[in-house]
Amino acid sequence: MSPDVLQEGVDQLAPDGRASGMVTRQDEVLQARAQELQKVQELQQQSAREVGELQGRVAQLEEERARLAEQLRAEAELCAEAEETRGRLAARKQELELVVSELEARVGEEEEAFQKRQQQQSALRVMQRNCAAYLKLRHWQWWRLFIKELETHLEAEEGARQKLQLEKVTTEAKLKKLGEDLLLLEDQNAKLSKERKLLEERLSEFSSQAAEEEEKVKSLNKLRLKYEATIADMEDRLRKEEKSRQELEKLKRRLDVEGSELQEQMAEQQQRAEELRAQLGRKEEELQAALARAEEEGGARAQLLKSLREAQAGLAEAQEDLEAERAARAKAEKQRRDLGEELEALRGELEDTLDSTNAQQELRSKREQEVTELKKALEEETRLHEVAVQELRQRHGQALGELAEQLEQARRSKGTWEKTRLTLEAEVSELRTELSNLQTARQEGEQRRRRLESQLQEVQGRAGDGERARAEAAEKLQRAQAELENVSGALSEAESRAIRLSKELTSMEAQLHDAQELLQEETRAKLALGSRARALEAEAAGLREQLDEEATARERAGRELQAAQAQLSEWRRRQEEEAGALEAGEEARRRAAREAEALSQRLAEKAEVVERLERGRRRLQQELDDATVDLEQQRQLVSALEKKQRKFDQLLAEEKAAVLRAVEERERAEAEGRERDARTLSLTRALEEEQEAREELERQNRALRAELEALLSSKDDVGKSVHELERARRVAEQAANDLRTQVTELEDELTAAEDAKLRLEVTVQALKAQHERDLQGRDEAGEERRRQLAKQLRDAEVERDEERKQRALAVAARKKLEAELEELKAQTTAAGQGKEEAVKQLRKMQELAASDRARRQAQQERDEMADEVANGSLSKAAILDEKRQLEGRLGQMEEELEEEQSNAELLNDRYRKLLLQVESLTTELSAERSFSAKAESGRQQLERQVQELRERLGEEDAGARARQKMIIAALESKLAQAEEQLEQESRHDPTPRLPHKLEKGNLRVKQLKRQLEEAEEEASRAQAVRRRLQHELEDVTEASESMNRELNTLRNRLRRAPLTFTTRTVRQVFRLEEGVASDEEAAAAEEVEPGSGPSPPEPEGSAAAPPQ
């Protein structure tokens, strides 16, 4: 509200003059408050502007920091490059030092040879003195007679002296040449040392700049931190002002509410703590009860185990009783046989003494009654014993079942109690943590309550002081509160955004760190490709620069052509002027015309050279495109290798799973073997029971015979005659014989059944052995497959290493090509310099022609004043001198043009050879890659076939095993059923249905034999199928091995391809650049082995300088 509006309101409210004083005072108070409010607004706007400026400054500092970081990174890269160049220069220096040492050694040898020659020269001087003496004595006749024989020796010595003189001259020339080479090497070494010093100075400058930039960055960081601290201080001030303005009104109410809430919370927490204590006590009681129940269950389990042991002991005692009963039964049987023998004896006595007395008959009848009573008692005892044994067996089985159930229940209850115990312990720990948290929260609440009480007291003290200023600042605060709330809201939003961004930044940094850790392996794997790509990009840049240089050279050649044409026109004009002036210079003009035509031809040849360079540029562009295509192919190859690695890992995992499955199948087969052993034991027990039943049948037969004899004796007592008794005896004997035959037939059937059982056992054992052999063969096959996979994995690793070596070889070859390209660039630059020198010479010739024209004009003016003869002679001499100069300069230009033409031809030859080599290598590489791709596809197809055959073999084995198991189980079940039926029938009714049983037994035996034969046939068929599949698997593995061998040979050939390229290029470089490479060096370059890799590229400056 403005002061004018207030004034109008005051005028309206106080129209009389008496209230004007009060209104003016209120007006002044309102104006003062309005001014204060305006000051506060201005301060707020100023603080907002400062905050904006600081934020802009912070953004600028961030940008500058990023820029400095980029500069620092670039300088670090430059430092790395400088280090690399320094390393190359150091290597070059070492090589030069070696060369200097070799030259010094050679100089020493030459000095020694020179000293020898000096000695020889001194000897020659002595010989010359002797020769002078000889000249004095040669006319003496005695000397002639003496020296005649030595002339031949002197001639030989003269020839040797001449040879030594020639050698001296040649060695002096060589020494001079070596001195020049030494000077050149010293110059080069000085240049290299200067370059090294310059590089070291530059490196020191870069390091100092980096240190300065780091200091700048540190200072900027400090400034940024300082500004951030100032911004934070200002924000804290704003917050404190806002809080002080808001707390003056709200703090008291808040403290009251918080105090009441804290009291309620304390009460609730105390109540909850009591509840938690009670719950903890209940849980502890439940835990104790659970532990007690667990102990009770353990005691019950121990009692059950004890009762089980007691039952087992009782079973053992029952078995002992059974053995005792069997012994007693054997004794009773023995007594019965004794009684039967006595009965037979008595019967014989009865037959002998038919006319015995009644007393003897009574005695015999008593004895027979005793025998029948004994038989009945024995049968009753055996029946009772069998019933008791059956009851004992049932009790034992029931007891075992109950004990098993009780043990299972005890296990289940133990598991449940363990789970409940763990849950209770977890709940107890949670309750304890909650209780500790509540206690800490209670303590914090107490501390907070005390702190709030102290703050309340302080605020109450402040409120007394601020109550006075509150009334004055109420309106001002109400007006500024909205704006401050907006600003505080914006600041709080900015803070929350900053906090959120900082959290996101930390999370992103963590993710970035994880991603960097994950990408480190990929970067290691892709370093070779990245370095190759960077090298190819650098090569492309170099080729582009070379193309640009060639374009500039072509433009320069065009300019030279234009200059030569202008010079030609000038020459023609001069020739025309001289033709009109002098007749004596006609011949010189013709020569100049011919020279001009030669120059035009040379310029045309230069144009052709430019065209050839253009074609070379196009070829280089094509090479660059081929290099890019090769890079893409290498990337695809790397991706294919990674896919192969993943496939190998997958195959290895599948083979591990197959091995685990084979181990499980072997364990399952062992379990089946144990079950079969148990079945064989049960069959043996059943066979023993059959034998016991057979013995029981024999005993029953004997009992029937005894009863028959008793019946015969009783009929004899009735009064039949002896003939009837004899007839009855014969009938009984015939019946006994029939029974014997039946018994023998039964015994034969039992033996046949036993033989069938033995055959079944043999077949079972054979099948078991076959199954074990199959499992062993499968284990061996799995082990062999695992070894093959490990070998393939090692081969893949070796291939990967070899491919890395190939990449290194390709990088070395590329560096070699780069060195060659740099040399070609140097040669092109030298050719350009030669062209520039030729242009300069042409300009000099033009200037010389102009000076000659001026001189001739002066000569013409002089000739007008002189004689014609003198004028003609002077002009002729001048023309001859000019002709000589022109001929000398044209000869020089022709030599330079010939050198440039030879250089261009060498470059073109080198380009053509390199292009032919690259094309041949690319064609060979594409053919080898296509062949390797075909071999790889064939190998994969063979692996799929092997996998399918293995699956079929596994299915056939599984089917054969299942069928064999089913057949064996069916045969065993049928055999068990037949034995059970035989036992039941022999137990219930042994005599009347024996023929029917025998027929059934025969039929069953035949059926069992037929089924056994069918099972054997099916097993043989499965074995044949298995052998056929095994043969197919062996054929496929042999084919895959042959394909792998072919693939390895192809890979070896592919590995050797870059080496041949490298040796070939090295040989051509040495031939083209040096031209004087010896046969030994060429042989050493060709004798590089494939695995050793190419020789490292020579440093710059090691090759011979191109021809200038």
Q: Name the band, by pLDDT with cuts 50, 70 and 90, for residue 254.
A: confident
Nearest to 190, CA basis, from 260, 89, 274: 89
Average pLDDT, the chain: 68
Q: Name the band, by pLDDT with cuts 50, 70 and 90, for residue 1070.
A: very low
Least trusted range by pLDDT, from 165-174, 300-309, 468-477: 468-477
What value does the CA radius of gyration of the chain take, rounded to a whole number of Å?
A: 62
Q: Examine the pLDDT at 112 and tell me if it is beyond 80.
A: yes
- How far is 707 from 715, CA to CA, in rounded Å? 12
Q: Examine the pLDDT at 19 and tell me if it is beyond 60.
A: no
> In the chain, what is the straight-line distance between the N-terminal and C-terminal CA atoms, in Å?
93
732 or 795, higher pLDDT: 795
Nearest to 1057, CA basis, from 819, 803, 815, 817: 803
DSSP for 822-858 reads HHHHHHHHHHHHHHHHHHHHHHHHHHHHHHHHHHHHH
Across residues 390-396, what is the average pLDDT?
72
- How far is 363 from 370, CA to CA, in rounded Å? 10
Query: Three-state DSSP class for 987?
Result: helix
Nearest to 817, CA basis, from 1068, 1065, 538: 1065
What are the φ/ψ torsions at residue 1100 (nearest 5 degrees)?
-70, 140
Q: Name the band, by pLDDT with cuts 50, 70 and 90, for residue 724.
A: low
pLDDT score, position 1092: 39
Give the model confidence (pLDDT) of 887-899 as tens digits: 676 677 667 767 7
Angle formed at CA 941 by CA 935 and CA 945, multiple of 5 degrees = 140
pLDDT score, position 554: 64
pLDDT score, position 993: 47
Give the model confidence (pLDDT) of 725-750 as tens digits: 667 667 767 766 776 676 677 667 66
1056 within 8 A of 804, measured Cβ to Cβ: no
Give the model confidence (pLDDT) of 861-872 as tens digits: 667 766 655 555
Determine the distance from the C-alpha atom of residue 506 to the mean position of all C-alpha atoms in its chain, rounded to a whole number: 29
Across residues 524-548, what is the average pLDDT?
64
Q: Examine the pLDDT at 1080 and tell me if it is beyond 50.
A: no
Q: Count Cβ atoms within 10 A of the Cβ of residue 474 and give its class: 0-12 exposed, 13-18 middle, 19 or more buried.
A: exposed
651 within 8 A of 944, measured Cβ to Cβ: no
Q: Count Cβ atoms within 10 A of the Cβ of residue 757 and give its class: 0-12 exposed, 13-18 middle, 19 or more buried.
A: buried
Q: Examine the pLDDT at 166 and tell me if it is beyond 80.
A: yes
pLDDT score, position 477: 56
- How far is 655 from 1016, CA to CA, in rounded Å? 33
Alpha-carbon distances of 288 from 275, 412, 434, rounded to whole Å: 20, 19, 22
1001 or 34, higher pLDDT: 34
- How far is 454 from 457, CA to CA, in rounded Å? 5
Positive/negative CA dihedral, 84, 87, 91, 97: positive
Q: What is the DSSP letter of 1098?
A: P
- How far is 487 from 436, CA to CA, in rounded Å? 42
Q: Quick count: other Cβ atoms within 10 Å of Cβ 1008?
A: 21
- How far is 445 from 312, CA to CA, in rounded Å? 69
Angle formed at CA 214 by CA 213 and CA 219, multiple of 5 degrees = 95
pLDDT score, position 1104: 34
Q: Examine the pLDDT at 196 and tell me if it is beyond 70.
A: yes
pLDDT score, position 1100: 35
Across residues 938-963, what is the average pLDDT?
70
Q: Count Cβ atoms within 10 A of the Cβ of residue 816 and give its class: 0-12 exposed, 13-18 middle, 19 or more buried.
A: buried
Alpha carbon dihedral 339, 341, 346, 349, in 10-degree steps, equals -170
pLDDT score, position 530: 59
Across residues 35-61, what is the average pLDDT?
72
Q: Examine the pLDDT at 122 and tell me if it is beyond 80.
A: yes
Q: Model-level pTM?
A: 0.20
- Please enumerate in sequence order all residues whose Cβ is within 8 A of that of 711, keeping only pairs 6 or more positions apart, or say none: none
Q: Examine the pLDDT at 116 and tell me if it is beyond 80.
A: yes
Across residues 805-831, what is the average pLDDT?
71
677 within 8 A of 821, measured Cβ to Cβ: no
Contacts 24+ apart (CB under 8 A), 74-83: 75/206, 75/209, 75/210, 75/213, 76/210, 78/206, 79/203, 79/206, 79/207, 79/210, 82/199, 82/202, 82/203, 82/206, 83/203
What are the φ/ψ torsions at residue 858 (nearest 5 degrees)?
-65, -40
> Which two tokens mark 653?
């995992």
316 or 572, higher pLDDT: 316
Say what percent of the chain tops pLDDT 70. 50
Give the model confidence (pLDDT) of 231-247 as tens digits: 777 777 777 777 777 77
> Which two tokens mark 211?
């240190």
Angle formed at CA 1082 by CA 1081 and CA 1083, multiple of 5 degrees = 90
Give the model confidence (pLDDT) of 448-493 as tens digits: 777 767 766 776 666 566 566 566 655 665 665 566 566 556 556 6
526 or 1071, higher pLDDT: 526
pLDDT score, position 991: 44
> Which two tokens mark 265?
């919370």
Across residues 855-860, what is the average pLDDT?
68
Q: Examine the pLDDT at 614 and tell me if it is beyond 70.
A: yes
Q: Examine the pLDDT at 672 and tell me if it is beyond 80.
A: no
Q: Examine the pLDDT at 816 and tell me if it is beyond 70.
A: yes
> Which two tokens mark 972?
């065993």
Across residues 1029-1038, what is the average pLDDT?
70
Nearest to 266, CA basis, from 443, 436, 430: 443
> Which two tokens mark 312?
């087992």
Give, for 954, the enclosing helix (H) or strand (E): helix 868-988
Across residues 156-173, what is the average pLDDT?
80
